[in-house]
Amino acid sequence: MTNYYDVDDILAEEELVPAVFQKTANGVGIFDCCDDTNKVGAGTEVEMPFWLACDLYVKQAVKIKVPSCFDTKERPRDRHRDEPIRKRDRTKDEIGADAAHVDLRGRCPYFYEFGCKIARL
């Protein structure tokens, strides 16, 4: 996945992503600081570099969640209507409002490169 000679590509894959372990994994206790054993149980959510999460995702060991730089938030329930709460994409809303004033570099230095990589999953 990474272009070996492209420093920007390597740094884009260093971004941390939240991942939930689907299986218990031994020997990876470094990811779960609150556990003294050297294992991570199924259902544990941890942050890890994208390059590692991607390999574990291919092996069906983790499920990757949406990274915080592409954050979603929940819309408050409308009091006048009985609407279910829907997820809205904060980044999409901000770009739609005024794309010229959205600081994507502030969210992630490699926003587009990282977005292209994570979209493949």
CA dist 61 and 22 (Å) reads 5
- For residue 2, being part of any structural domain is answered with no
pLDDT tens, 23-74?
A: 888 777 666 566 567 778 888 888 999 999 999 999 999 999 988 877 755 4
- For residue 75, being part of any structural domain is answered with yes
If one counts the domains in the chain, the total is: 1
- For residue 57, being part of any structural domain is answered with yes
- What is the extent of the structural domain holding 48? 7-119
pLDDT value at residue 85? 45
- For residue 25, being part of any structural domain is answered with yes
CATH (domain of 98)? 1.20.58.2050
8 or 76, greater pLDDT = 8
> Is the distance from CB of 113 to CB of 9 less than 8 angstroms?
yes
pLDDT tens, 64-101?
A: 998 887 775 544 544 555 554 455 566 677 767 666 77
- For residue 1, being part of any structural domain is answered with no
